[in-house]
């Protein structure tokens, strides 16, 4: 399982690592800085 870690801030970032073969992502700072983590997660995965 290839996991992409760090530096994921936009849906485009997620698409890029997914296209490169990542089967999972690890997101931290970009979500923890948001007031509504649930909404930010939905937006990131849109």
Domain boundaries, the chain: 3-44
Q: What is the pLDDT of residue 22?
A: 97
Residue 8 confidence class, pLDDT cut points 50, 70, 90: very high
Taking the C-alpha atoms of 44, 3, 31 and 40 in order, what is their torsion angle to the nearest 10 degrees? 20
pTM: 0.79
Average pLDDT, the chain: 94
pLDDT of 36 strictly over 90: yes
């Amino acid at each position: 399982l290839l996991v992409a870690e760090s530096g994921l801030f936009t849906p485009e970032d997620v698409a890029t690592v997914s296209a490169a073969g990542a089967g999972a992502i690890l997101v931290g700072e970009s979500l923890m800085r948001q007031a509504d983590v649930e909404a930010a997660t939905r937006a990131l995965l849109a």
